[in-house]
Amino acid sequence: MILKSKSAVVTGSTSGIGLAIARAFAAQGADIMINGFGKPEDIEAARAAIEAEFGVRCLHSPADMTRGDEIAAMIATAEKEFGAVDVLVNNAGIQFVSPIEDFPVETWDKIIAINLTAAFHAIRAVVPGMKARGWGRIISTASAHSLVASPFKAAYVAAKHGVVGLTKTVALEVATHGVTVNCISPGYVWTPLVENQIPATMASRGLSREQVINDVLLAAQPTKQFVTPEEVAAIAVFLCSPAAKQMTGANLSVDGGWTAA
């Protein structure tokens, strides 16, 4: 197990991609701090399942990703409880779609805070410990929208482009300290959030389920297949492995060919 005796903090991990990454790390022996909102009973079930299935410690932090002080406190708590934060995954994110002239300013601020600035606060908090120990892995979930744009997604596209720039900059700063910094850029990932959008889209556009999936959601992905959370998680595990020791400052696409065009 490549993460035996190590620990990881994964933001936005009470469901979807983040939870898949947390579980994949736990399967490799890491103690885990998950983070995010949701029904308390669902969060506790996910947390307890990680401990029961993988025999590791799993804690939950409700830290608000719009608040730098809460992010710093989350990292401090993980360091106190686990002795270190060896791996950080910045995964928390939200989306909003609107023409630029109608884009609510407060929504822009929130998306930038959660999708980009939160990563800054978390990285800033973990780097000193990683440098002192001479080992660390920092991974951020970016998006195909870190490489290409779509209309009406100004804040999300700007934030995800920013994540790539942040990744490259920090990778250079810590390159001689045994710390790697990378990001993963998925296309459309099959999650409950995506699945739950299908009925409403069917009704609003008068389309069948298959039309929504193939002509709306997967229009940009040449494989016409969703990425799975587990596929993203497998790449995150690889980035923590000895084989990825010299991979840093990279943006790894897993988007069914979306950004190949």
Task: Encode pLDDT of 192-222 as tens digits.
Answer: 778 877 887 888 789 999 998 998 889 989 9
161's CB contacts (< 8 A; 6+ apart) are 145, 146
- For residues 153 and 211, membership in a common domain is answered with no
- For residues 12 and 113, membership in a common domain is answered with yes
pLDDT for position 204: 75
First to last CA, the chain: 37
Note whether residue 41 is domain-resident. Answer: yes
Note whether residue 2 is domain-resident. Answer: no
- For residues 167 and 219, membership in a common domain is answered with no
161 touches 227 (CB < 8 A): no
- For residues 83 and 211, membership in a common domain is answered with no
Catalytic residue positions? 156
Task: Encode pLDDT of 14-24 as tens digits.
Answer: 999 999 999 99
What CATH number corresponds to the domain at position 170? 3.40.50.720
- For residues 146 and 237, membership in a common domain is answered with yes
- Helices vs strands, H then E, count in the chain: 9, 7
- For residues 166 and 218, membership in a common domain is answered with no
pTM metric for this prediction:
0.95
**Beta partners for 149?**
none
Note whether residue 81 is domain-resident. Answer: yes
Long-range CB pairs of 230-235, under 8 A, 24+ apart, other chains included: 230/20, 230/24, 232/17, 232/20, 232/21, 232/141, 232/184, 232/186, 232/189, 233/17, 233/20, 233/21, 233/23, 233/24, 234/24, 235/184
- For residues 94 and 158, membership in a common domain is answered with yes
- For residues 82 and 203, membership in a common domain is answered with no
pLDDT for position 192: 78
Note whether residue 69 is domain-resident. Answer: yes
Note whether residue 1 is domain-resident. Answer: no
- For residues 98 and 47, membership in a common domain is answered with yes
220 is in which domain, residue-wise? 190-226
- For residues 62 and 156, membership in a common domain is answered with yes
pLDDT for position 194: 81
- If one counts the domains in the chain, the total is 2
pLDDT higher than threshold 80 for residue 113: yes
185 touches 143 (CB < 8 A): yes
- For residues 144 and 29, membership in a common domain is answered with yes
Kindly indicate the confidence band of residue 129, based on its pLDDT and cuts at 50, 70 and 90. Answer: very high
- For residues 78 and 203, membership in a common domain is answered with no
71 touches 63 (CB < 8 A): yes
